[in-house]
Chain A
C-alpha cells in the first residue's frame, strides 16, 4: 500500500476486555515499531520488530501487552484485560532506513 495502515481507527473497550490492534506496514519495510501516545505527549516506544523477530520489547508497560509479526509483514498489538490507564493512541511505524513512516493510529478508550 501507499502508507502504513492501522485498524480500527477507534476502539472502545470495557474494562477487562481484550483488544487487538492491527498494523499493515509499507511493503518491504523490515523494521516495525509500536508506540503509545497519551494526550499532549509525544509517542512513547513500546516494541520493535525486525522482520518477524521481536528485537526489543522493553517499552511494553506490563505482561498484559503482547505484540506479534508472524510473517514479517502485518503486526498485531494485543492488550489483555484492558484497564483505564491503557486509554491512549497506539501508533505503528515502519521504516527501511532512518526515516519512520507512521500510521494514523488507533485511539483506544477503556470505559
Chain B
C-alpha cells in the first residue's frame, strides 16, 4: 500500500537561510500533493498544491517541487523567519477517495 514519509526529526535553521523539507512516497505517483502548516494547538492550514505534471510551484517565499522519478516532493522556504517555525505536513488523496492521507510532519524551528 502507498506510504507517505516525512523526516520525523526536527529541522533547525538560522533566520534568513532556506529551509528544505522532504516528502517521499513509496508506490504510485499521486495526482497531486498538498502541503499544510500546523501550529501547536491549531488545525492544519493549506499552503500549496502541486500536480503530478508540474515540476515546480511557487507562492511568495514558498516553493514546492514534485519529482516522480525520485518519488519525492521538496518544500522550500526561502529567507526563513522565526514566524515560519511550525510543523509542515504533506498529504495526498488516494485514488477513488476524497480524504487526505498525511505524512507524520516535520517540525521546523527557525532560530533568530
Contacts and interface: CB of A to CB of B under 8 A. Distances in A.
Interface residues of B, number: 22
B99 interface: yes
Interface string B32-60: 10100000011111100100000000000
Given A98-B32, A99-B46, A99-B49, A40 B102 contact: no
Question: How many A residues touch the partner, as a band?
Answer: 20 to 34
Given A42-B91, A98-B49, A103 B102 contact: no
B105 A91 contact: no
Contacts of A93: 43
A104 B42 contact: yes
Interface of B: 6, 8, 32, 34, 41-46, 49, 89, 91, 97-105
Top 5 A-B pairs ranked by shortest CB distance? A102-B43, A42-B102, A45-B99, A99-B46, A42-B104
